[in-house]
Chains A and B, each alone.
Chain A
Amino acid sequence: MGLILDRVRRDVGAETYIHETSLRLAPGTMTVLLGPTLAGKTSLMRLMAGLDRPTAGRILTTDGRSETDVTGVAVRERSVAMVYQQFINYPNLSVFENIASPLRVKRLPKAEIDDKVRAMARLMQLEPFLERPPLSLSGGQQQRTAMARALIRGADLVLLDEPLANLDYKLREELREELPKIVRASRATVVYATTEPQEALLLGDYTAALWQGRVTQYGPSAEVYRRPTDLTTAQIFSDPPLNLLPVSKREAVIQLPGGASIPAGGALAALADGDYRLGFRAHQLALRAGPAPSLAFAGTVTVAEITGSESYVHVECAGLRWVALVPGVQELEPGAAITVHVDPAHVFVFASDDRLAHAPAVRTAA
């Protein structure tokens, strides 16, 4: 079942939680709602689920041929399952009974329930714990129980609201890997809310970037990542934060802050005169010049953080604060002078209205 939001809006009191939004989620796909806290992820999910009624607009489901208007249809009468950030299970039922509960409500025959629960438990790696109460399990196992319960109904729409946020880093990593397999096996349309760009890339076929109640961009995840249509989307989809450099273009010259200027080569030559902001992600900022001609900036190190194989070097250049993600262990003293390089072929260019004016060419490989 696909889901269509048709010019949906949601007001609460005088505040608009969700501005007019139209989305089409194709059947069987996974869409990630990506945005910071308070961006409206949960509000949008509640509208999709039918827990809240939109102030304006329609919500429809589609089986590929015909569309059904489900605006105002109670959540109980829709085929929807939801998993929350908190692990919500029935504490006095065993894991088996927890997973079986939606089937018991449907009054399925006992043998069928048994088969389905065991199959789901195998998929979720919960088999050894079926007879235990959920509270005796680890956070990851509890959350897998909650997800198993949501998925076993075979609901057409599965909503996952930051389901991994309360888990340990390593468990999160493992579930991130398992989730796409599980979801694909269920063939449901899945919506997954998160604040982390990495999850959007790993999990979502599609990504909807959300900011202050607006969907700033919706599309295939890799495309949203590589061609963000505006600055906000690019910022939401960058971790570490996007580095920015304000410039202005006058004919064939690009004026940099601090007085320096460079010739506007390559794709930049085609831009109209005006003020722009260049954006580039942390891994595009290097400590050494590459083979291609690059822009060089003198700055000072504020902090260097080492992650093992790589280092995050925070630098201050011409009053701007940037982060560079560089390979290897870089032991740099704060305050040390440093030159950083960026290849102009790898930068996003945003116009003064924050719309994307130019994006680097997508790598040809794969």
Chain B
Amino acid sequence: MARIELSNLAHSYTPGASEPGDFALKAMNLTWRQGGAYALLGPSGCGKTTLLNIISGLLTPSHGQVLFDGRDVTGLPTEQRNIAQVFQFPVVYDTMTVRENLAFPLRNRGMAGKAADRRVREIAELLDLSGELDRKARGLTADAKQKISLGRGLVRPDVAAILFDEPLTVIDPQLKWELRSKLKALHRALDVTMIYVTHDQTEALTFADTVMVMYDGSVVQAGRPDELFERPDHTFVGYFIGSPGMNVLPAEIEGSRARVGGGTIELSRSYDVPSGRRIEIGVRPEFASLAPPGEGLAATVERIDDLGRARLARLRLGGHPFAASVPEALADIGTAAGVVLERAQVHVYADGKRLEGRA
């Protein structure tokens, strides 16, 4: 059981680094509570795997400390931390059966006999692997192998946190659903901290209670999925979460009015805009809907994508690309159209950071 704290943590792969650009992870202070489900979400190279490896102890940070329940474990090797990790590509011991695979971490820790066997069967039951216990691990499918990797972590009675490094990369979409809801159910059933690293927003948002969006070595926003979606603190978060991402348009703000793309819209709050900064408004396609010409802001339609259950309009608004949802009732869409924005869902950003505004 553990609460994980990172205190002034930073990491650079080049020794003696001083420039911010040399750091794969920029200085951060974070706390992960016992039993939480966390996701680290970000593009390749944002430092999320580096952070994960520091927590698991596969990597020693160049600066700062890692604390488990207040105890400094920065210098401790992986095997002495109560951590399990599941990797991108399934790791199984080919020559062993599923049962031996699951029992392996127990055997290494000197646990054997009836108790170990019972534990293995319990975990196999949880993961729906009971029928495969005596099969050789090498012949199994990717999703079964990934379950075994997970099982080797769960089987240890001392495990405080399980780390996942893009564990669904090699799994088919249909099976992803199954494994993901399995993970979520396991998290509910067991009091274990889970940290999940991914570049896939659907995986991150559906799995985690708290999602930490990483960009260029820092956590730019941490919050509940709905917070990240509805109130992105940074334009990067708006872009990275949501599919397609948030529309961002340059704008001029005066109090509670914004001039954008040749039109004017009313905002739900008023803003004192600092001068000399890049001012933009951001609105998600879900909160922008296509309308007949004359309504809302004027736009030109480039394309309508049929997503099956909904339609998405690809537009140009004041020369910028813009995505908006198409109401089901709207038929006969020509090239000229209007866009109506949901007032409460329009945010104002200065140099990429969200402004609070006044009610």
Contact = CB atoms under 8 A, between A and B. Distances in A.
Q: Do A and B bind each other?
A: yes
SS class, residues of chain B in contact with chain A? mixed
Contacts of B307: 198, 201-202
Contact of B308 (A168, A177, A195, A201): A201
Interface of B: 43-45, 172-174, 177, 180-181, 184-185, 188, 199-202, 205-207, 224-226, 228-230, 239-245, 284, 286, 304-309, 311, 314, 326, 328-331, 333
Interface in A238-253: 239-241
A303 B180 CA distance: 10
A283 B309 contact: yes
Contact of A36 (B174, B188, B201, B242): B174
A333 to B, nearest CB: 9
A325 B243 CA distance: 15
A177 B322 CA distance: 13
Contacts of A138: 44-45
Contacts of B326: 366
B146 to A, nearest CB: 14
Contact of B185 (A235, A302, A312, A365): A302
A225 B333 CA distance: 22
Given A195-B173, A202-B305, A241-B177, A365 B44 contact: no
A281 B244 CA distance: 21
A314 interface: yes
A170 interface: yes
Given A201-B307, A307-B225, 18 more contacts: A36-B172, A36-B174, A169-B202, A170-B245, A177-B244, A195-B173, A201-B305, A201-B308, A202-B307, A239-B174, A302-B185, A303-B185, A308-B201, A309-B242, A314-B181, A329-B225, A329-B226, A365-B329
Nearest to B228: A308
B160 to A, nearest CB: 23
Interface string A294-314: 000000001101111100101
A195 B181 CA distance: 20
Nearest to A236: B174
B304 A305 contact: no
A222 B330 CA distance: 18
Given A201-B306, A365-B329, A307 B185 contact: no
Given A306-B206, A309-B284, A363 B185 contact: no
